[in-house]
Structure 1
Amino acid sequence: MSTEGMKYDAAHIKVLEGREVVRKRPGMYVGSTGERGLYHLVLEVVDRAVSEVLAGRAGSADVTLTSDGGVRVADDGAGSGGGNVPELEGELTSLHVGSGPIGRRATVIAPFRLGLFVANALSSRLTAEVWGEGTRWVKEYARGVEVELPDTVGPLTGGVGLATGSGTTISFWPDTEIFETTWCSFPVLAERFRQLAFLNRGLAISLTDERPADGPRKVLFQFPDGVRDFVAALDAEAGACPRADVFGFEREDERMAGTMEVALLWGYSSGARIRGFANSLATHEGGTHLDGFRDGVVAAVTEFARERGLPTASDLDARANLIVEDLTAVVSVKLDQPEYLGATRTLLGNTDVRVCVAEAVREHLGNWFAERPERGERVIDRVVRAGRRD
């Protein structure tokens, strides 16, 4: 092929900046223009409200699916106090502002964590409302471009704000020019918010759907026992009878620069259900936290058998896979620097985590067996019987 007449220089390079690049390549920022991308867009906005609650700056996060196809996300935080308005305006108008590094206190709701700017650029309309200290501030945008409205500063009017008299509300309408569908499923969002409440004990989050013809529906998620409640719920969903003997513990370990929260329940339903999370993000492919959990469980059971002088102790090493059979468990770690293998963040790779989780599980579960030897004997009996079936 002749290259005569074909020239390429700086004049041919088109630099896309800000909202233009987001709207031109939306899949790079929210994953897709289908349902997956739509939910990611919603979670980018919810991320901010939940972070306010977990940081102790707000008491609750409230998400509403409005009757006109919009989504409203509100928190009852400090609102316009403490210089929050300039910070919020920066998040809405600058890429990456507000996304910040992931730390052990950070809950990963939207995996890409690019902030409100992406939601603003990919919404046909977005309104930000902040109130507090007796004043109200409002900004409106159309596809990321500010609509010329005067800032509202003055006394609060009836019906504005939450019970605390301060807060922030982001209302947005996903752009039909970008997304294949703008219909958000109530069950899909409810399940994600329920999961977040299980994994973050201090979180209260509600979801309201104003779209049904027979009237709004609302759910509130808040679980005082954290992952213990999560395990009990998983076991109940499998058809087991409610039980009160869920084992669990929390531990901080500086060697892995983070914390762990573990809960488990044995033998009341068929098949293992072991769920792993890193900074509240589900690790569907597993990782070092789940490897360490299994190591610790096997070590605790085999050590208990040997200490009790059980004749089956020598056989347990060969039956390690049966020890975690019929086990329902949740393993949640929150790390300063989570290392994920792959862009999807579904496989945790921190090497120190495996050793730390294994040691903690072996110690805490071993103490639990020592205090309740009948539980340990019951587990070993199940393993032996399962081995005979094989």
Structure 2
Amino acid sequence: MGSATDTGKTITFWPDTEIFETTRCSFAVLAERFRQVAFLYRGLEISLTDERPAGQARLERFRYPDGVRDFVAALDAAAGGSLHPDVIGFEREDPRMAGTMEIALHWGGRDAEGVRGFANGRLTREGGTHVEGFRDGVTAAVSAYARRRGLPTARDTGSIADRIGRGLAAVVSVKLDRPEYLGPIRGLLGNTEVRACVAGAVHHHLGAWFEEHPERAEAVVGEIVRTPV
């Protein structure tokens, strides 16, 4: 359209009524997705403006400097939990899986488990190897800590694996050069190497956090091993 002093792209489109059942965009649905993307890409700022209400334009901005840590804190707050206020998080690049992982977790005062997995910014509703690796790593770290403290159920790894999700909120986000999805809707990540990479990283970082915060570690691990399956 002419010369410009900055760079970027503008995309304008109208939904086709012959294809879509509804052509009215939902501000709430768009806001939720943009908020999710801003959580997953730390430091990215997204603004959403609805100019449809005459004279009452609605604007929301999304930016989260702590990335998935902020995501977990928001999930935990929405669920009404906060038994242990610290959100544990880390980021790591691993060439074995040709990608990076960013993971945050927190045990709160809820009963339900809330572990969300993402691959390249896409929600994997059915989980996959990144979520399986996360659970493997948490189980290993909790079992190792319980064993060192001589807790009575430390030998029962299967039982601990069943218990770790009680009150756990977590986000497991991986960004891969070559993601492999299973199923028709790409809701399940299938990269086999991702499981071991994520498990090892979670075991290492969570184990280090337990050692650095012994009082909180005792509370978290003690609650896990004492809670009935």
Band of TM-score, shorter chain: over 0.9
Alpha-carbon separation, structure 2, partners of 1:380 and 1:244: 15
Q: How many residues in Structure 1 have an aligned counterpart in Structure 2? A: 229
Alpha-carbon separation, structure 2, partners of 1:343 and 1:315: 37
CA contact (8 A) 2:117 2:171 kept: yes
List per-residue Cα deviations over 1:55-111 (Å, max 9, x = no partner): xxxxxxxxxxxxxxxxxxxxxxxxxxxxxxxxxxxxxxxxxxxxxxxxxxxxxxxxx
Larger Rg: 1 or 2? 1
- Aligned-pair CA distance for 1:182: 1.0
Alpha-carbon separation, structure 1, partners of 2:16 and 2:89: 44
List per-residue Cα deviations over 1:130-159 (Å, max 9, x = no partner): 7524xxxxxxxxxxxxxxxxxxxxxxxxxx
Query: Does 2:48 match 1:207?
Result: yes
Aligned to 2:73: 232
- Aligned-pair CA distance for 1:191: 0.4
Query: Does 2:188 match 1:347?
Result: yes
Q: Which has the higher contact order (CA 8 A, sep 6+)?
A: 2
Aligned to 1:132: 4
Alpha-carbon separation, structure 2, partners of 1:250 and 1:187: 30
Query: Does 2:15 match 1:174?
Result: yes
TM-score by length of 2: 0.93
Structure 1 residues 132 and 262, CA gap change in structure 2 (3 angstroms): same
TM-score by length of 1: 0.56
CA contact (8 A) 2:128 2:188 kept: yes
Alpha-carbon separation, structure 1, partners of 2:203 and 2:65: 25
Alpha-carbon separation, structure 1, partners of 2:53 and 2:144: 56
Unaligned runs of 5+ in 1: 1-128, 134-164
* Higher mean displacement: 186-195 or 368-377: 368-377
Identical amino acids, percent of aligned pairs? 64
Query: Does 2:196 match 1:324?
Result: no
- Aligned-pair CA distance for 1:176: 2.8
Query: Does 2:159 match 1:287?
Result: no
- Aligned-pair CA distance for 1:345: 1.3
Alpha-carbon separation, structure 1, partners of 2:186 and 2:114: 20
CA contact (8 A) 1:369 1:376 kept: yes
* Aligned CA-pair RMSD: 1.9
Aligned to 2:155: 314
Unaligned runs of 5+ in 2: none
- Aligned-pair CA distance for 1:195: 0.3
Equivalences for residues 1-390 of structure 1 within 5 A: 131-133=3-5, 165-213=6-54, 215-241=56-82, 244-387=85-228, 390=229
Structure 1 residues 249 and 220, CA gap change in structure 2 (3 angstroms): same
Structure 1 residues 229 and 211, CA gap change in structure 2 (3 angstroms): same
In the TM superposition, structure 1's runs of 4+ consecutive aligned residues that sit over 4 Å from their partners are 241-244
List per-residue Cα deviations over 1:261-306 (Å, max 9, x = no partner): 0000013222100000000100000100000000000000010111
